[in-house]
A and B are shown apart, each in its own frame.
Chain A
Amino acid sequence: MTLQEELVGPPPAKLVVDKVSKWFRTTRQTVHALDKVSLSIGEGEFVCLVGPSGCGKSTLLDIISGLETPDEGVVMADNEPVLNPGRHRLVMFQESALFPWLDVTGNVMFGLKLKPGLRNKERLEVAKFFLQLVGLEKFWAAHVHELSGGMKQRVALARALAPNPRVLLMDEPFAALDALTREQLYSDIQRIWQKRRKTIVFVTHNVREAVCLADRVILFSRNPGRIREQFDIPLPRPRDINSIELAEHAGKITRALKGHAAGEVSD
């Protein structure tokens, strides 16, 4: 298999979340994290889940990845129920979750090595390709602790992209970074997404970030976690987080978010 063939890979997947509910029970209390959430995400669509903390958006991401199982309902990826985590749906976490015992290349290779049908030489080529894509080819032999926060997230992105998943799940991956690094990553992520079309589900509490990246922004409310409203973002790409059109959309969503929050308080 050549590098080009490997990079083509399977097409992005269609995701259907069907009446998913989830409760977290502790000895003290039961939290109703998700209440009959239904959602359909198209092939290659970029969707952002936005909401106040504790609205269950990260829980939904865990359920889509297969790390958590829903108490009710089901998630279908290309008409197959999601029962376990699998390499077709890779996750980027808020902390990079890179393995300190491996160097940068070793980390990018980790998922690739679990992918059958490749020779090690090909895996190395693929890893190099993705390190280049995130602009870190010079750091292929670096140790994880030698990288800055932004570089770590780039490596984590390369690690998630390398096995050519059909879905990329991102759980507030830029929340711990400074504003400048984040802006750079917004343009990187748009560039990479246009090059390597994936279905992306991106969780954030930053409305501007969501508008900058998403085809569609889905607004959650909490107690219990529900979908409140959905917003299509028809802006052309690449988008600049500081543009006025973007700010208008963000303002609309922020007002909706505040409205719900205020409603919750008065309830």
Chain B
Amino acid sequence: MRRTLLATLFFVTLIAIWHFVVQRGIWSPVLLPSPRSVGEYLLAAARDGTLFQATVVTVRRLLVGYLIGVVIGLPLGLFTSAFKFMEDTVGVLALGLQTLPSVCWIPLALLWFGQTESAMLFVVIMGTLWSVVIATDTGVRNIPPIYARAARTMGSRGLHKWTKVILPASLPYLVSGMKQGWAFAWRSLMAAEIYVTILTGFGLGHLLHYGRELHAMDQVIGVMLIIVLIGLLTDKILFAPIERFLHRRWGTGLR
């Protein structure tokens, strides 16, 4: 209760400072709209359904792209950690491509797929995949060797060793890798939506882009707030329960 109160106080103060700065009239309201006008935009956009629709479109792209990225990236990461040959080939490729900002995939995606959903998905997958591969690989390599030794003496080998020992042992790393993958997916998708205009779906990135085109700063800031909110919510809904489970089992994260 006390924590909720403190947090509320913190954010109310932030908005109050914002309000105060606007009232002093230091910057033109075209550049810095008041919290009130941003709130009014959000309310209007929520009423006429644009906000909801854009959110659905964006979150769907994000989830599909992210899931594909994880489903491919996780086994690839396991392979690169298990086989020297994979480490020297796919591992190097992943390391290289992970450093490539995902925005750089957009020109290629446009030429390959045109202004389509596939282009969007492609960019999100490329943004997710390589960081998941690297995180999985790192996770497996950081397992204390004593676990594998103990398991071997009890007769665990092959597939059993991978599913019952190596995978659960690297779970803490895998989860932080998946979290990082999620952040990358989010960034890639926003970049793609801002740069690529397509007709099949109008996402939050598009709303942001048109806010700029129309000089509607209340829309720009309003949509940014929604994007931050979605990021926070997914963290709390998707990852926080898994992290709580890990902390309980591993006895970590205690204060």
Q: Which residues of B contact A65 (CB under 8 A)?
A: 153
Contact A97 B249, beta carbon cutoff 8 Å: no
Q: Which chain B residues in 57-99 approach chain A with CB under 8 Å? A: none
User: Within 8 Å of chain B (Cβ to Cβ): is A111?
Assistant: yes
Chain B residue nearest to A145 in the complex (CB): B251
| 6 more CB-based (< 8 A) A-B contacts, given A85-B153, A97-B150 | A87-B155, A90-B153, A99-B168, A101-B250, A114-B155, A146-B251
Q: Is the CB of B168 within 8 A of A87?
A: no
Q: Are A93 and B154 closer than 8 Å at their CB atoms?
A: no
CB distance from B102 to the nearest CB of A (A): 33
Contact A93 B250 (CB under 8 A): no
Determine if B165 is an interface residue (Cβ-Cβ < 8 Å).
yes
In the complex, what distance in Å separates the CA atom of A114 from the CA atom of B151?
10
Beta-carbon contact of A145 and B250 below 8 Å? yes
The smallest beta-carbon distance between A114 and chain B, in angstroms, is 4
Answer whether residue A41 sits at the interface, using C-beta atoms and an 8 A cutoff: no
Q: Which residues of B are in contact with A by a Cβ distance under 8 Å?
A: 146-147, 149-156, 160, 164-165, 168-169, 171, 248-251
Give the docked Cα–Cα distance between A113 and B250 (Å). Answer: 22
**Is A128 part of the binding interface, using a Cβ–Cβ cutoff of 8 Å?**
no
Residues of A within 8 A of B146 (CB): 93, 95, 97
Query: Within the complex, which residue of A67, A85, A97, A100 is in contact with B251, where a contact is CB–CB below 8 Å?
Result: A100
Which B residues are in CB contact (< 8 Å) with A89? 153
Tell me the smallest distance from the CB of A162 to a CB of chain B, in Å.
10
The 10 closest A-B pairs by CB, nearest first: A145-B251, A111-B154, A97-B150, A101-B168, A87-B155, A114-B155, A91-B153, A85-B153, A97-B146, A85-B152
Cβ contact within 8 Å between A143 and B154: no
Q: How far is the CB of A200 from chain B (nearest CB, A)?
A: 15
**Cβ contacts under 8 Å, A99 to chain B:** 147, 150, 165, 168-169
A101-B171, A101-B249 known; A86-B155 Cβ under 8 A: yes
Q: A144: which B residues are within 8 A, CB to CB? A: 249, 251
Interface size class of chain A, counting residues whose CB lies under 8 Å from the partner chain: 20 to 34
Task: Annotate A93-123 by CB proximity to B: 1 below 8 A, 0 otherwise.
Answer: 1010101111000000011001100000000
**Do A111 and B155 have beta carbons less than 8 Å apart?**
yes
With A86-B155, A101-B169, A101-B171 as known contacts, state yes or no: A91 contacts B249, CB within 8 Å: no
Listed A/B pairs (11) with beta-carbon separation below 8 Å: A65-B153, A85-B153, A86-B155, A91-B150, A99-B147, A101-B169, A110-B151, A111-B155, A143-B248, A144-B249, A145-B250
Distance of A12 Cα from B40 Cα, bound (Å): 81
The chain B residue with its CB closest to the CB of A88 is B155
A163 at the interface (CB under 8 A from B): yes
A93 and B149: CB pair below 8 A?
yes
A42 to chain B, nearest CB (A): 22
Complex CA gap A100/B246 in Å reads: 9
Q: Which single residue of chain A is at the shortest CB-CB distance from B168? A: A101
With CB as the reference atom, state the residue of chain A lying closest to B145.
A97
A114 to B160 alpha-carbon distance, docked (Å): 9
A80 CB to nearest B CB, Å: 16
Residues of A within 8 A of B154 (CB): 87, 90, 110-111, 114, 159, 163
A159, closest chain B residue (CB)? B154
CB distance from A76 to the nearest CB of B (A): 18
B248: A residues at CB distance < 8 A: 143
